[in-house]
Amino acid sequence: MTESGVDAKLEVKQASKEFKESENVAEKYSAMTVSKNSDVNMNVGELSAAFTAVPAHKSVKKQIQFANQEDKQEFSKFPTKTGRRSLSRSISQSSTDSYSSAASYTDSSDDETSPREKTQVNSKGSSDFCVKNIKQAEFGRREIEIAEQDMSALISLRKRAQGEKPLAGAKVVGCTHITAQTAVLIETLVALGAQCRWTACNIYSTQNEVAAALAEIGVAVFAWKGESEDDFWWCIDRCVNTEGWQANMILDDGGDLTHWVYKKYPSVFKKVQGIVEESVTGVHRLYQLSKAGKLCVPAMNVNDSVTKQKFDNLYCCRESILDGLKRTTDVMFGGKQVVVCGYGEVGKGCCSALKALGAIVCVTEIDPICALQACMDGFKVVKLNEVVRHMDMVITCTGNKNVVTREQLDRMKNGCIVCNMGHSNTEIDVASLRTPELTWERVRSQVDHIIWPDGKRVILLAEGRLLNLSCSTVPSFVLSITATTQALALIELYNAPEGRYRQDVYLLPKKMDEYVASLHLPNFDAHLTELSDEQAKYMGLNKNGPFKPNYYRY
Amino acid sequence: MSVQVVAAKMAEVELKDVPNKELSAVSPVAPKTDEKGLSNTDLNASATSPAVEPAVKGDPSPLSSAPSTAKIPQASAMKRPDPQQNGGEAFVNRDGTVAEAPRMKKQIQFADQKQEFNKRPTKIGRRSLSRSISQSSTDSYSSAASYTDSSDDETSPRDKQQKNSKGNGDFCIKNIKQADFGRREIEIAEQEMPALMALRKRAQGEKPLAGAKVVGCTHITAQTAVLMETLSALGAQCRWAACNIYSTQNEVAAALAEGGFSVFAWKGESEDDFWWCIDRCVNLEGWQPNMILDDGGDLTHWIYKKYPNMFKKIKGIVEESVTGVHRLYQLSKAGKLCVPAMNVNDSVTKQKFDNLYCCRESILDGLKRTTDVMFGGKQVVVCGYGEVGKGCCAALKAMGSIVYVTEIDPICALQACMDGFRLVKLNEVIRQVDIVITCTGNKNVVVRENLDRMKNGCIVCNMGHSNTEIDVASLRTPELTWERVRSQVDHVIWPDGKRIVLLAEGRLLNLSCSTVPTFVLSITATTQALALIELYNAPEGRYKQDVYLLPKKMDEYVASLHLPTFDAHLTELTDEQAKYLGLNKNGPFKPNYYRY
């Protein structure tokens, strides 16, 4: 024991060395942030300034009221500006932007009165909620039940932990997309003993029926589809500001709720035991706060957990690239020549899916290590210019900007399909295509033909925005991973002994990450092997994990 | 700032994990470091398993892995009984065993030091996430043969006076006349190591190693020779000894001596010879090394013991093997490391090639060479889905096998599911599978009970580390008949006539029954060269008295040097794009925590 203790110290040294390196990254990161932020008159380090930016871009929303896609862009802009580069895509976005997420089928017939002006009471006589129409609760219940089918991990978490009620006494205030999947999460938290008050993190994403169903069972929900900017903050405020109820846990997606509590009710933080944040943006804001020394409670970054990352990027994109292309273009993949720009997680997923369908895939990369991986996986590494004339499809997933420029678009052959799987809409220089000599023809939703004077057509999907968000669905299974991770993060923070977490941003402990994975294994009828005592001893592991050192690459 | 702080915290957590990984690391390597001891242990090993011995002798290859593979298992077997409580003593035990063997006295003298040096690894280290190529390069089944050996006289090279064509006698090798043969070997290796050749061309002008006096202790093979000549081309002076008493290619050593390198190594050194060679390398009037390139830590150890003053002039140590790295961490922990050291074993590129890519190919190669089995439609169970397991599964799936996976870690298990493999417990499928492959790094993954239930003709082999994964000892019972059908292949026959095909007696299949491609060795050699350059040229203060990982930028450079082999064309960032991403155009391109 002592031996390993000493050893640990030694490793600390080594580790601390790595920090120095990571420090550089961090500095670069913050340096970036500074320069980027200055574009929008933000002053990093100044928390207040950082946060005033939020309402600012919310109000932008107002101006473009309901111009759906533009709003999304606006929303995703923030990370682009502040974050150096997101290695992941936040599911929080995906869940809203989904092409065919469950429709609000009762909406159209609704009256136009603002929910704020209506007085509604659920069947138990409680009126502590604000939703579009409480009468839709039954429809919502059905949606939730369907979602439960796909989220067996949360259901089994409920079963496993229902007895001990690990969240007994927890008062969770949440701000996420309000969808059937979130409802399953909320009901799980309730089943584990928590009291919940909830609001939407996006003015468009709420499923009204689901909100109604939640209100019906007594969750204080403040959300409806198509809130105004003002409604948005009003809802958040109603969530937080209740006589005789003070939140002790925050579950946030995007950081708006955290921001609001900071601005308006800083004293609430005295009682808050922790913040769980899901999105890239929100996590970035937390790091900013922490850097400025203004984070006064522990926060958990669930965005960067291994399981979530792999599902958000590798597995999700591996399927949605094919799905998105099929839905929009009905293209056949066999024998097609495809170039994939970027061989990170997303690129790896796209390449393996396309290869499996018989496409001839080549890859462009800037990082020699990833390039070597591509080589070893059997993909030709090329520069885009060398192959762009021959390609049937061009897919970008670099996270960079102007990867496909007008010059390259000019050289593409007739019928070439161009789409983006990376983050935001900067990878393809779409603006350069909006010139008089080119004719744009919308052939179906999300599909534009751009016609050159000589008759050549290039098929641009989703106007260069994320293909998998615009043209395919995010499977409930992926959302289940996220929701389970959030639930476990709440449990971990709420039950952590005094002193384990300080006022800083933490990653989910590996053991929890492993638990998330293990909860999803029954979906595959997968049978996990258990270590024998002897084997565990030999490996120096606890039989119940964690099984890998933290630096393990998976 | 907060970011770093958090990272720091994470690291502390990691620390606890780290020891785990290392134990395992130790076991395979430890034997190697005690090389001389090995020969003896080896005898024991062959005594217990007679089959091994002939294979060794019969093998014309100087690199013949047979001895070392035999040793390795033996050593680890001895150590294993109680790794937890007295891993350290295990070594004592082992030396005790060794003591019966002929060269006992000398050995003990050195063994003591070794023990001290080695003791901790056993206790602390746990599980190697990698296999050291340093072993592979020796152990390879069919690497270049020492075709001139057999005709040689039996005089010890130490007693011979030899001079190269320039009249220089500052070397000690088997036979300088073999230089021409060796040169040919080196030229062949150069063909397959274009990265080092490219490095020579790129850096020849600036001579980044001008003034460097490198003393090295590695396997002396054609690939190493390419590395040495590269170092020399970059301006370094080199003196070299072997890190393994069996692995030296005599012709290559001769070619190097002819080329003016002071090489002290021959195939089949005794324990005493081994240390004598190292000493001759280091201890020279008027020449003091300022860089150390080590593989296994023996050289570093020797200098510490005998010439501690030398460290005043030494700018850094580059260490390749898991064991050596572990010993360095020990030194560092004890506050005794007085120069910076570079751990090249854990660089991303090297790790991926040692595990994923190398095993992906060698699983098929090893099985084909030994059993000529056809893979299509075969039911295979792979135990463990780490890097090695992932490689094996991908290869087998590609050949049309039906692959099952067993795992203990839910995250890896979920990865296996998402990659389309059925996740099972071994017991559930053991009756129906045609091939069982272990790659867990654990012990007793396949036990006698499992073996009893296998169907006739089932092939059992191990791709993990050491020979503990399959409980081979349990098969040595009177009712079972062992039949050696060819080298490395045993049929174990049950009383009812059922046969199980056991490969390499449960030792590492890819070391015993297939080759390590030169390309993989090239990755390692290039990484070593760059680590030397980095340490030698680092501005004062960048590296302190501690063990460092190769900077990511260097790792990327290693990868980039190997890209031309694939005719791969790397895209360059435009200034605008680099600014957008907040990156330097020349890298590093990823944050440190990136998983690749």
Claim to verify: residue A257 and residue A397 sit in the same structural domain: no
Claim to verify: residue A197 and residue A343 sit in the same structural domain: no
> Of A61-70, A333-342, A545-554, B409-418, which gets the smallest average pLDDT?
A61-70
Structural domain includes residue A257: yes
Q: Looking at residue A110, what is its pLDDT? A: 53
Of A309, A371, A506, Cβ closest to residue B559: A371
Which B residues in the span 349-378 are in contact with A, Cβ-Cβ below 8 Å?
Answer: 349, 351-352, 357
Please say if the pLDDT value at position A79 is more than 90: no
Structural domain includes residue A48: no
Helix (H), strand (E) counts: chain B: 24, 15
Of B330, B417, B441, Cβ closest to residue A526: B417
Claim to verify: residue A294 and residue A387 sit in the same structural domain: no
| Residue A303 near residue A88, CB atoms below 8 Å | yes
Burial class of B293 by CB neighbour count within 10 A (0 to 12, 13 to 18, 19+): buried
Give the model confidence (pLDDT) of A415-457 as tens digits. Answer: 999 999 987 789 999 999 999 999 999 999 999 999 999 999 9
Give the model confidence (pLDDT) of B286-336 as tens digits. Answer: 899 999 999 989 999 999 999 999 999 999 999 988 889 888 988 999 998
Structural domain includes residue A39: no
Claim to verify: residue A295 and residue A277 sit in the same structural domain: yes
User: Hey, is the C-beta of B397 within 8 angstroms of any chain A C-beta?
Assistant: no
Please say if the pLDDT value at position A552 is more than 90: no
The sign of the torsion formed by the CA atoms of B485, B489, B490, B491 equals negative
Q: DSSP 3-state assignment of B463?
A: coil
Q: Which residues share a beta bridge with B263?
A: B240
Claim to verify: residue A139 and residue A213 sit in the same structural domain: yes
| A542 contacts on B by Cβ (under 8 Å) | none
Cα–Cα distance for residue pair A160/B333, rounded to 1 Å = 43
Alpha helices per DSSP H over B334-386: 348-352, 358-371
Share the mean pLDDT of chain A. 82
Closest CA to B436 of B506, B511, B355: B506
Claim to verify: residue A163 and residue A300 sit in the same structural domain: yes
CATH number of the domain bearing residue A509? 3.40.50.1480
Query: Could you read off the pLDDT tens digit of each residue along chain B, which spans 596 residues?
Result: 333 333 333 433 333 333 343 333 333 333 333 333 333 333 333 333 333 333 333 333 433 333 333 333 333 333 333 333 333 333 333 333 333 333 333 333 333 333 334 333 333 333 333 444 444 333 433 344 444 444 456 788 998 889 999 989 899 999 999 999 999 999 999 998 999 999 999 988 899 999 999 999 999 999 999 999 999 999 999 999 999 888 899 999 999 999 999 999 999 999 999 999 999 999 998 899 999 999 989 999 999 999 999 999 999 999 988 889 888 988 999 998 999 999 998 888 888 988 899 999 999 999 999 999 999 999 999 999 999 999 999 999 999 999 999 999 999 999 999 999 999 999 999 999 999 999 998 999 999 999 999 999 999 999 987 788 999 999 999 999 999 999 999 999 999 999 999 999 999 898 788 878 888 899 999 999 999 999 999 998 999 999 998 899 999 999 999 999 999 999 999 999 999 888 999 989 988 778 88
| Residue A192 near residue A166, CB atoms below 8 Å | yes
Token reading at A394: 């061009």
- The enclosing H or E element of B341 equals strand B341-343
| B520 contacts on A by Cβ (under 8 Å) | none
Give the model confidence (pLDDT) of B84-123 as tens digits. Answer: 333 333 333 333 333 333 333 333 333 333 333 433 333 3
Claim to verify: residue A351 and residue A432 sit in the same structural domain: yes
Q: Which domain holds residue A354?
A: 315-465
User: Hey, is the C-beta of A15 within 8 angstroms of any chain B C-beta?
Assistant: yes
Q: How far is CA A354 from CA A313, A358, A359, A451, B543, in A?
A: 16, 7, 5, 27, 45
Cα–Cα distance for residue pair A118/B100, rounded to 1 Å = 94
**Count of domains in chain A?**
2
Q: Looking at residue A44, what is its pLDDT? A: 36
Q: Looking at residue B464, what is its pLDDT? A: 85
Q: Looking at residue B497, what is its pLDDT? A: 95
Burial class of B158 by CB neighbour count within 10 A (0 to 12, 13 to 18, 19+): middle
Minimum distance, in Å, between the CA of residue B102 and any CA atom of chain A: 33
Structural domain includes residue A221: yes
| A15 contacts on B by Cβ (under 8 Å) | 8, 11-12, 14-15
Cα–Cα distance for residue pair A124/A141, rounded to 1 Å = 16
Minimum distance, in Å, between the CA of residue A157 and any CA atom of chain B: 15
- The enclosing H or E element of B25 equals helix B2-33
Alpha helices per DSSP H over B482-517: 509-512
Claim to verify: residue A212 and residue A285 sit in the same structural domain: yes
Q: Looking at residue A148, what is its pLDDT? A: 92
User: Hey, is the C-beta of A426 within 8 angstroms of any chain B C-beta?
Assistant: yes
Please say if the pLDDT value at position A61 is more than 90: no
Which B residues in the span 130-189 are in contact with A, Cβ-Cβ below 8 Å?
Answer: none
Q: How do A393-396 and A416-420 pair as beta strands?
A: parallel
Pick the more confident residue, B76 or A397. Answer: A397
Query: Which of A225-229, A386-390, B191-195 has the highest mean predicted lDDT (pLDDT)?
Result: A386-390
User: Hey, is the C-beta of A8 within 8 angstroms of any chain B C-beta?
Assistant: yes
Structural domain includes residue A172: yes
CB neighbours of A501 closer than 8 A, spacing ≥ 6? A274, A298, A493
**Residue range A105-110: mean pLDDT, rounded:** 49
Distance from the Cα of residue A496 to its chain's centroid:
25
Structural domain includes residue A15: no
Give the model confidence (pLDDT) of B502-544 as tens digits. Answer: 999 999 898 788 878 888 899 999 999 999 999 999 998 999 9
Of A402, A515, A518, Cβ closest to residue B576: A402
Cα–Cα distance for residue pair B124/A420, rounded to 1 Å = 48
CATH number of the domain bearing residue A403? 3.40.50.720
Query: DSSP for A148-202?
Result: HHH-HHHHHHHHHHTTT-TTTT-EEEEEE--SHHHHHHHHHHHHTT-EEEEEESS
Structural domain includes residue A184: yes
Q: Looking at residue B465, what is its pLDDT? A: 72
Interface probe, candidates B6, B119, B124, B542, chain A, greatest A C-beta count within 10 A = B6
- Would the CB atoms of B559 and A402 count as touching at under 8 Å? no
User: Hey, is the C-beta of A12 within 8 angstroms of any chain B C-beta?
Assistant: yes
User: Hey, is the C-beta of B283 within 8 angstroms of any chain A C-beta?
Assistant: no
Claim to verify: residue A196 and residue A337 sit in the same structural domain: no
Claim to verify: residue A319 and residue A300 sit in the same structural domain: no
Structural domain includes residue A6: no
Residue in chain B nearest A319 by alpha carbon: B418
- The enclosing H or E element of B576 equals helix B575-581
Residue in chain A nearest B119 by alpha carbon: A3
Q: Looking at residue A474, what is its pLDDT? A: 81
Please say if the pLDDT value at position A324 is more than 50: yes
Counting one residue from A and one from B, how many pairs have CB atoms under 8 Å apart?
Answer: 310
Claim to verify: residue A261 and residue A284 sit in the same structural domain: yes
- Exposure class string for A121-154: b at 16+ Cβ within 10 A, else e: ebeeeeebbbbbbbebbebbbebbeebbebbebb
- Would the CB atoms of B444 and A11 count as touching at under 8 Å? no
Claim to verify: residue A237 and residue A331 sit in the same structural domain: no
